[in-house]
Amino acid sequence: MRKVIVGTFVSLDGVMQAPGGPEEDTSGGFAYGGWLVPLMDETTGAAVGALFDKPFDLLLGRRTYDIFAGYWPNVQKDPKAKDYDAATAEMGRTFDRVTKHVATHRAMSLGWQNSKPLGKDVAASIRVLKETEGPDLVVQGSGELIHQLLAADLVDVIQLLIFPVVLGKGRRLFDGSETPARLKLLESKASSNGVILARYERSGEVKTGSFVFDNPDAA
């Protein structure tokens, strides 16, 4: 079975909106777009890169797809160009090559090569997709899609990069619709800039307990 792996950036108070730039997503009057940029370093970059070290397909919401489609096919891939960056070029070639499964109502407008629309029932489409042969499905950005995946209990692994900023308002990773679940910590580390990497996998149902004594006295 293919796994759904969510990789996302969040602030300390759980906001995931517009981490990469001021114009990325200003909905709701969000004024802090690009909040992760000053805190990125080698450790956080390596954590992001690790998501794509193994074979994968991309699983994207429409907003994130449009952002990616406007950027990655256009990165400089000519080694002789002054603005060439080897790592960026390689990621661009990789994203061009892999299959992009997209939650969209406008299937005919998916112009980026190797892009495929998911069905109208997104959760059902992904449930079927997980049963097919192929690489794991990596989700980037795509907050609304992540909410649907969490609500349908379709996320197998979640990798959080938690940045030491409090943003107050903005779209949050967890919106209250997710299916309750217990998680197992697979990996954790902190960068020199205070960013915490925490990687979890689904680990069964939520367990509860109590601190009350079995036979409490009158006090």
Reported as a single tens digit per residue, the pLDDT across 30-70 is 999 999 999 999 889 888 888 888 999 999 999 999 999 99
Q: What residue ranges of the chain have pLDDT lower than 50? A: none
Domain tally, the chain: 1
User: Rg of the Cα trace of the chain?
Assistant: 19
d(CA 118, CA 82): 39
The domain spanning residue 79 has which CATH number? 3.40.430.10
Structural domain includes residue 212: no
pLDDT at 219: 65
pTM to 2 decimal places: 0.90
Structural domain includes residue 156: yes
pLDDT at 150: 95
Q: Quick one: DSSP state of residue 120?
A: S
What is the span of the domain harbouring residue 191?
Answer: 4-131+144-202
Structural domain includes residue 23: yes
Structural domain includes residue 149: yes
Structural domain includes residue 96: yes
Closest CA to 48 of 82, 19, 77, 81: 19
Q: Compute how many other C-beta atoms are within 10 angstroms of the C-beta atom of residue 4.
A: 23
Structural domain includes residue 214: no
Structural domain includes residue 100: yes
pLDDT at 215: 77
Structural domain includes residue 170: yes
